[in-house]
Amino acid sequence: MTHAPGSPRAARRGAPEAPPLYDPYNPYEPATPYGTYAPYVPYDVPGPEDRYGIYEPPVTGPYDPFLPEPREAGPYEPQDLHEPPHLPRQPLAPQGPDEPAAGPDASEPSTGDSGDSGDRGDRGASHRGAGRRKRAGERPDALRKLIPQALVVAFLAGGTSSFVAADKTVRLDVEGKARTLHTFADSVDELLADQHVALGEHDAVTPGHHHGLTAGDEISVRYGRPLALTLDGRHHQVWTHARTVDGALRELGVRAEGAYLSAARTAPISRHGLDLDVRTERTVTFMADGRERTIRTNAATVHEAVEAAGITLHGQDTTSVDPDSFPREGQTISVMRITGTEETRETPIDFDTERHEDPTLYKGTEVVSQRGEKGVERTTYALRIVNGVRQKPTKISSETVREPRTEIVRVGTKPRPTTVQGAEGLNWSGLAQCEAGGRPDAVDPSGTYGGLYQFDVHTWQSLGGSGRPQDAPASEQTLRAKKLYVSRGATPWPVCGRKLHG
């Protein structure tokens, strides 16, 4: 019995080793010693519409370590060139219990005796040799058909790998509603656009809009909500991403412990916003009745804080700051105990003077036609004693008891005459020099006579003068003296009258 080159037995006998060859499948291989060889079931032969045509096995050659390892072929996938494929099975002819099955080559019978292993070995070796020689001639055609199929499979495998690599699993949380998504988006913006999530100016997304996506990323979207916040009396318009009042206070850093809230901490904040009044707890110190009291309060006014401190205000009692003002952190407020009475005082009101021109009076002449009278105003003052100290009177009210009466004065505008008939040509300057030394404002020691010509007041006014003669101009005094001379001569000047003619 001969052995195939390269077999273990041939090697032990010193036969030269040849590169090992894969044994192709032989349909005439004797059955295994464990039982009768089962008849073959014919393969389905592909029809002309099949894209790959009739499957034909490749021709194998010597083992090449640089070629890829053999693998199992899938449907319509060609076998590796180094893995002998199974030949299509041919239909078997009917056989009796003792007749051998008819294979592809009916001229060579097959033995069903499992004990004749040597014959099977010889026949198997001869058939393998024949199979190699037959496939060696068919190799170029098989290669031409397998190469396009291999390229298609490789292309499909590469495309599938790229498709799988581009698919990512991420987690999207929109306002607390989370879901897991498979996406091909490359950035957060692309993912939000794919999911039809539109963001406004005050909305937030974490991570940022242009963040590149990778598998396992978590994206969080929070919508902005307007909040009209009144914090400790001051108004603010802010935006928050929190969905409840408590969350907004935490986000804004507002201390809510002990604070007054116009809405419950669990109250939701809608997308349209919320009006929220917050008064935090503050420390306020009161000084009242010689004692100091410090409290913690969230009162809206000083008056409320005073009541919270257990201090009662009576009558005119008040505080050092406006009772309706907002109490601030660390503020010290004094309580003022007030007692007092009211006092009424009357004060005069000065009258006005009106001056009217009178053409019947000579220039320089003024006549009071209506004397002025002062009015009376009655004012009420509060006299207060604050914490035992008398304060400056405070004006409470005032009223006019009597209106003042306006004084009216007539002022002459008539030109004065420069001459008096019968008195011209006399030495009036000599008379004036003798009576008063030529001084218009001269007054005698008794105070009765005055002026250039020493008139007494009664005579002066009877001549049309006003006031005192020494207060009138020199020309007026001379004019009055001339009138007096016409009516009485030089008699009024018994000593100096002779100067008129000398």
H or E, element range at 63: none
Which fold would CATH assign to domain 225-279? Ubiquitin-like (UB roll) (3.10.20)
Q: Which CATH architecture has domain 341-411?
A: Single Sheet (2.20)
Strand partners, 173: 178, 220
Task: Tell me the per-residue pLDDT of 33-61, one tens digit each, with 9 for 90 and over.
Answer: 544 445 554 444 444 444 444 445 554 44
Which fold would CATH assign to domain 419-500? Lysozyme (1.10.530)
Q: Enter the CATH code of domain 282-336.
A: 3.10.20.90
Strands 375-386 and 338-349: antiparallel
Give the pLDDT band (50/70/90) at residue 286.
very high
DSSP annotation of 413? E
Distance between CA atoms of 109 and 167, rounded to whole angstroms?
Answer: 59
Task: Report whether 30 contacts 111 (CB < 8 A).
Answer: yes
Q: Please name the residues in contact with 396: beta carbons below 8 A apart, sequence gap of 6 or more.
A: 342, 380, 381, 382
Domain at 168-222, CATH class: alpha beta
Residue 464 CB-half CA count within 13 A: 19
Tell me the average pLDDT of the chain: 76
Q: What is the 3-state secondary structure (H, E, C) of 350-412?
A: CCCEEEEEEEEEECCCEEEEECCECEEEEEEEEEEEECCEECCCEEEEEEEEECCECEEEEEE
**Percent of the chain with pLDDT strictly greater than 70:** 67
Phi, psi of 474 (to 5 degrees): -65, -35
Task: Tell me the per-residue pLDDT of 314-367, one tens digit each, with 9 for 90 and over.
Answer: 888 999 999 999 999 999 999 999 888 889 999 999 999 999 999 988 787 888
Strands 407-414 and 375-386: unpaired
Task: Tell me the per-residue pLDDT of 399-415, one tens digit each, with 9 for 90 and over.
Answer: 999 999 999 999 989 88
**Percent of the chain with pLDDT strictly greater than 90:** 37
Task: Report whether 269 contacts 248 (CB < 8 A).
Answer: yes
Give the pLDDT band (50/70/90) at residue 165.
low
DSSP one-letter string for 245-293: HHHHHHHHT---TT-EESS-TT-B-BTTBEEEEEE--EEEEEEETTEEE
Torsion of CA 12, 18, 20, 21, to 10 degrees: -130
- Average confidence (pLDDT) over 270-283: 91
Domain residue ranges of the chain, discontinuous segments joined by +: 25-164, 168-222, 225-279, 282-336, 341-411, 419-500
Two structure tokens written together for 191: 């993912």
Q: What pTM, to 2 d.p., does this model score?
A: 0.39
Give the pLDDT band (50/70/90) at residue 377.
very high
Instruction: Check whether 66 has a pLDDT greater than 80.
Output: no
